[in-house]
Structure 1
Amino acid sequence: MWNERFGIIGAGYEGKDASTFVDGLVSWRIGTVVDVRLNPISRKKGLSKRGLAASLEQSDIRYLHLPTLGNPRDNREGFAVPGSPEAEQAHGRYRELLMTDAAGEALRQLAELSVTQRVAVICFEESERCCHRSLVIEAAKKLMHELVAI
């Protein structure tokens, strides 16, 4: 669900500098960025947790890190090859992680935010097809629809 007031999108900073990435979020009128990197560090200046949070704050965008929605390092390789057996295995393993109580609470928090404002779920990969955030967004949207129906 996406409209003028609320919703949820995905965004990856691959190939972008911090300024370009934040400008894009501003243009989408994002209210909160939800960082789903397990470890929110980057070799790119301004895209690690502190620098990104500061840049977002200057643009009136809230930053929220939800590490419980991060993809374990040893499960990332499969996401790089969409449609492959390795991807299916990696997606299955990540979906199991999303069924934990901690991940469920984080998803609920994300869904609740997304029914009141525009939220961007961020990670590194430019393409959501190659990133676990696609599964985060899918799960959060299901919860979001439940909340809107209430």
Structure 2
Amino acid sequence: MLYYRRKIVLALLEVFDGQLTAKSLQKYLFLFTRVQSVKAFDFIPYRYGCFSFQADQDLSTMAKYGYLEISEYQSGRFIKLKQNGEYLEMLDKSDRQALLDVKAEFGSMSQTDLIRYTYQKYPYFAINSSIANELLTKDELARIEKQKRKFTEPQLFSIGYEGISLETYINKLIINDVHVLCDVRKNAFSQKFGFSKSQLQKACTGVGIRYMHIPELGIESEKRQELHSQADYDCLFENYEKTTLKKNKEALLKIRALIETYGRVAVTCFEKNPHQCHRTHVANALMQLPDIDYSFKLL
């Protein structure tokens, strides 16, 4: 299906004569979204700067359906349009003009200059770059270093991914200096892009966060089928505390050990509302353990 955001990617390629490197495409797309009131893509600070997992996935999907071609070379990946479709004309007037403005302002830059510009202008997105030292001055690198959030106090966090993109979710972990993400779903699978186990683990690893799946603390899906009110959730969680949490204290102690070792640890599941997710009860149990030296924060 050709979603609007995918039309933007195809139009971007069209504006740049049908071909871009993968790195340049990500940077141009990032610069384009800076002027959008509602951004078509979110980005994280990744190995070469600003990066959208969703855009990368969309490229793979559109290659599968023949809209474009992805070629791998020693020098990197190249994205080429295979189907001409006047994609620019499919966009809103403001988005059409924004893409043309990106081409006019940045189209003459080399890939290296383009990356350097995004690092200089948006230093947060360069904090995990593997090439910043090659491109920037000492002063510019110092600006990037100041963007890194570092905390010494140990802390337990709780975060759900309902209603937010993978990139927004990962950015929340980064700005709170989370070192370990503990996935307490019974089955770490999601219909939502980015949140199945392998995808989430890859995203975390790419920004220096350890991922741990702890299925022992999850709730079987069949127990979640008839949840129509808060009272239904409360009944489910009352049973959960009496059974799963009591039977799996070793799993709780494993998370506590992670906090003692790595300092800042988040427990995660799907629900946005903490009152409708068992991770809240996992967090409460961790806060009630004896002799704790960490605080709690809801993300």
- The answer to whether structure 1 residue 12 and structure 2 residue 160 are counterparts is yes
Q: Which amino acid aligns with 1:99?
A: K
Closer, same or farther: CA 118–93 of 1 in aligned 2, 3 Å: same
Q: Which residue of 1 aligns with 2:258?
A: 113
In 2, Cα distance between the equivalents of 1:88 and 1:36? 18
Unaligned runs of 5+ in 1: none
Shift of 1:76: 2.6
Whole-angstrom CA distance in 1 between matches of 2:158 and 2:212 = 14
Equivalents in 2 of 1:112, 1:44: separation in Å? 30
Asked if structure 2 preserves the Cα contact closer than 8 Å seen for 1:111 and 1:141, the reply is no
Please state if 1:137 is matched with 2:286: no
Deviation at 1:146, TM superposition (A): 2.6
TM-score (norm 2): 0.44
Tell me if structure 2 keeps the 8 A contact 1:81–1:130. Answer: no
**Which residue number corresponds to residue 64 of structure 1?**
212
- Matched residue type, 1:112: A
Match of 2:245 in 1: 98
1:126 equivalenced with 2:272 (yes/no) = yes
Match of 2:265, SS state, is strand
Structure 2 stretches lacking a partner, 5+ long: 1-150, 294-299
Give CA deviations for 1:3-31 in whole Å, capped at 9, x if unaligned: 84211111000011111111111111101
Q: Answer with 16-25 or 71-80: which moved more.
A: 71-80
Between the aligned partners of 1:64 and 1:147, the Cα distance in structure 2 is 21
Query: What value does the CA root-mean-square deviation take over the aligned residues?
Result: 1.8
Matched, 1:54 2:202: yes
Task: Tell me: higher relative CO, structure 1 or 2? Use CA pairs within 8 A at least 6 residues apart.
Answer: 1
SS of the equivalent of 2:157 reads: strand
Give the superposition deviation at 1:77. 5.0
- 1:37 aligns to what SS in structure 2? coil
Q: Which has the larger radius of gyration?
A: 2
Work out the percentage of aligned pairs sharing the same amino acid.
31
Q: Per-residue displacement from partner, 1:46-86 (whole Å, max 9, x unpaired)?
A: 1110111011011110000000000122333576633x2x2
With the length of structure 1 as denominator, give the TM-score of the two structures: 0.85
